[in-house]
Each structure stands twice: as structure tokens, then as C-alpha cells.
Amino acid sequence: MKDEKNVTLRYFVVGIVVAATIVAGFVYFTQNPKTEIDIKDESVLSGNIIEGNATITEEEVVQAPDFTRPLSFGAGMDTDIRTLLQRKFDDLQAVLKENPLSFNAWVEIGTLRKTTGDYAGAAEDWHYIAKVYPNSTVPFDNLGDLYMNFIKNYPQAEENFKASIAFSPGNIHAYQQLFSLYTIYGYKADTSAAADLIAKGLAANPGNETLLQLKQQLETGSSQ
């Protein structure tokens, strides 16, 4: 039975790593059509994305987290899973040594840290890349999920989902997550936050079926 559980967990972790790679790559190449600029200094400056590139300005210095800091594995983690995650981590470190501004690598390293239970480390990585690529919704969506479902810091979850929506009003996933925060999780349950959110979403996305379904749930008193 123990072996069966380990095999199941192993496939689950493999799925997380593969999915993170696919999603990060898809988002980067669809939202950021040009290649990333090559900056060798780990301390970079914040800026805006112009046609997919991180634009370096002199407004604010953003210190990069230490991407070489080892993963923190729990004592009970299966050896094969540790090996798989470590191998992926080593590959991502090699990418960041060549290009410290690699969007995909920072997103994926954050995912690895989250997978091993290092939530603070994941948050640090994603907060950093959100500053370097402030017009990408991916770091904000990841942070929203992390704060809502793992750290249980609901104000931070709300802030990040709202930031994602601000940058991309058509990001229906962020509306869904924020709606769950207000209804299923009960954050701001005694306010009009959920109704206001749906009204805002429909104003930006008229006739969207998902948002209309959420509106119906509010009207019928069901958040499931």
C-alpha cells in the first residue's frame, strides 16, 4: 500500500513539474512574443514590458532572490521524487546563470519551492518576477493561489488576484478565484465584494458564460 501511494505521489509531482513548464512556456510565448533580454547581473531594475521584453529603468532597484538556495525537502518525501525535483531545479539554475531575467525559470523555481512546502520561498520568487514583468498575470495568479490555498493570507490573495485582473480584464480565471475567496472562503462575506466583482467582470467581458454562471450562483444563494 505504501509503495502504491509513493507511485501515485510520484506521478502527481511529475505532473506538477510538467504542467508548470507547459503553462509557463505557453504564457510567455503567447503574451511575450520576443525573446528575453540577457542581463548578467542578479540585481536588476524594475520596469515595464514593451513587446514582451523586460524594460530596464532607473526607478527602483529590485534585488533578485538567491536562486541557488537549495530546495527544502521534507523528511518523508519519496527519494525518487526528491531526485526528480532536484534534477529540474538544477536545470533551472543553469538557465538563470545564463539569463537572470528568465521569466519561465523564475516561475518554475517558485513552483518547485511550493511543491516542497517552501511557501515563503515561492512567494519571494513570484513577487520578484512580478516586479520585473509587471504586465504578466502569471505571477499574480500564482501568488493569489498560494496566499489563498496554502498560506491562508486572504488580504494578500485578494490583492494579487485584483492585480491580475487590473493587468488583464479578460483573465476569467482570476475572477473565478477571487469569487471563491469572497464566497467559499468567506472573505468579505458580509459585503458586496462578490457582486461588485461580477459586475466589473461582465462590464469588461459582456456575455461571458462563466461570469454569468457566477452571477446566477449569487442570485440563487449558492457558491458551489
Looking at the structure, do residues 150 and 42 belong to the same domain, yes or no? no
pLDDT at residue 19 is higher than 90: no
Task: Choose the final residue of a domain: 88, 106, 134.
Answer: 134
Looking at the structure, do residues 144 and 189 belong to the same domain, yes or no? yes
Tell me what the pLDDT averaged over the chain comes to.
81
Task: Choose the final residue of a domain: 71, 100, 134.
Answer: 134
Task: Choose the final residue of a domain: 134, 151, 176.
Answer: 134
Looking at the structure, do residues 97 and 186 belong to the same domain, yes or no? no
The CATH number of the domain where 165 resides is what? 1.25.40
The least confident of 23-32, 109-118, 159-168, 171-180 is 23-32
Mean pLDDT within 141-161: 98
Count of domains observed in the chain: 2
Looking at the structure, do residues 41 and 14 belong to the same domain, yes or no? yes
Query: pTM for this structure?
Result: 0.76
User: Angle 135-63-57 (CA atoms, 0-180°, nearest 5)?
Assistant: 50
Looking at the structure, do residues 148 and 116 belong to the same domain, yes or no? no
Looking at the structure, do residues 221 and 119 belong to the same domain, yes or no? no
In the prediction, which pLDDT does 74 show?
84
Mean pLDDT within 17-26: 42
Mean pLDDT within 158-177: 97
Looking at the structure, do residues 98 and 147 belong to the same domain, yes or no? no
Looking at the structure, do residues 94 and 168 belong to the same domain, yes or no? no
Query: How far, in Å, CA of 126 to CA of 156, rounded?
Result: 13
Residue 89's domain spans which residues? 1-134
In the prediction, which pLDDT does 7 show?
45
| Identity of the highest mean pLDDT range in 6-10, 18-22, 136-140 | 136-140
In the prediction, which pLDDT does 76 show?
85
Looking at the structure, do residues 168 and 197 belong to the same domain, yes or no? yes
Instruction: Say if residues 56 and 40 touch (Cβ distance below 8 Å).
Output: no
In the prediction, which pLDDT does 127 show?
97
Looking at the structure, do residues 10 and 105 belong to the same domain, yes or no? yes
Instruction: Say if residues 121 and 69 touch (Cβ distance below 8 Å).
Output: yes
